[in-house]
Structure 1
Amino acid sequence: MKRIVIVNQKSDDLCHAVKEQLPKAIEYPDFNWQPQSQDIICWIPNDEIRVDLAVSDLAAKLDQSAVQPAKIIMKSIAGTADDATDDQLTRWYGETGQNMVMDHLYAIKMIDELEFPYTIVRSLPLTNDDVQRCLMTEGQPYRGNYSNIQQVATIIAQATDPEKFKNQSIGI
């Protein structure tokens, strides 16, 4: 079985919910760990960090390593796949919403250019409230204001299957 490494840079309950579904997953707070062949890397960045800068740590880690990951999964924000209006971005993320989307787009592009299998999981701001959402393809507009943490965790856990959602950006 492939090792699942969660790089958790968030302060909410998402990583805990993912680990409930993937109890053997290993958690790190940053990219300061030693990759093993065929790792499944699950990156959960804090929405407010400069993910455009943080992704360079991931790229450097993989460039310096002689091993290749089986897959990279990144939790991203809504708005990176032509799925939100400027007004929605401001409502969800405040005045910096458009900048956050640009940062996430850069990080997604970097992950794509690493040429390893990947899945991008896009979501609205997270809540523990019972919000039922469905999977969305790129370009499908978001409605509502929140995504449920448990639902997002389930999609992230499913994405650890190397063949599930391969090289896709999916929304929830």
Structure 2
Amino acid sequence: MDIGTIVSANLRKIRLEKGFSLTKLSELAGVSKGMLSQIENNGTSPTINTIWKICAGLGVPYTALLEGQVQSMTVIPKAATAQQTSADGHYRIYCYYPDSAHHNLELFQMELDQAADYTSIGHSKANAAGHSEEYIMVLNGQLTLEVSGQTLVLNPDDTTRFDSTGKHIYRNTGQGVLKTMIINFYPI
């Protein structure tokens, strides 16, 4: 099943479960009612930040809209992952494991083209137990990460974690395509 079909089905299911009209969700998410309707009818593929906004409005983790059927022990080839791409195509994330009732984390591979940057609006899932955290490990290239006025430079095999509820910026400051593994952790 393609990503647009999965997002379409999950958006409609979750919106109806919460009892939200398109108008109500539009107000909560800051996404136009027309855009929400197009997404629900599989008429357009939403950007990564649009999915974040919708998930924030629904009060669900980012991957709730990307989650397909869960299977037990299996190999997940990259080609079978839910891929999301920034509007300019320079930032790509591949979701291997979405947040679910079985675990409170998401696992992604991220790719960022040479000399490109990407700004995440932040992860919306925070509760009384704490804020969302992002754990990131550089596999290839050099990442310059900006979070809350702090800048870190990570090289292959370097890792860091940070409160990801706010805006954060990824910059590829190395040669070639930057590749990282990202775990988004949500406290229970």
**TM-score where L is the length of structure 1:** 0.28
Larger radius of gyration between Structure 1 and Structure 2:
2
Q: Flag the structure with higher strand content.
A: 2
- Higher helix share goes to which structure? 1
Higher relative contact order structure (alpha carbons within 8 Å, sequence separation ≥ 6) = 1
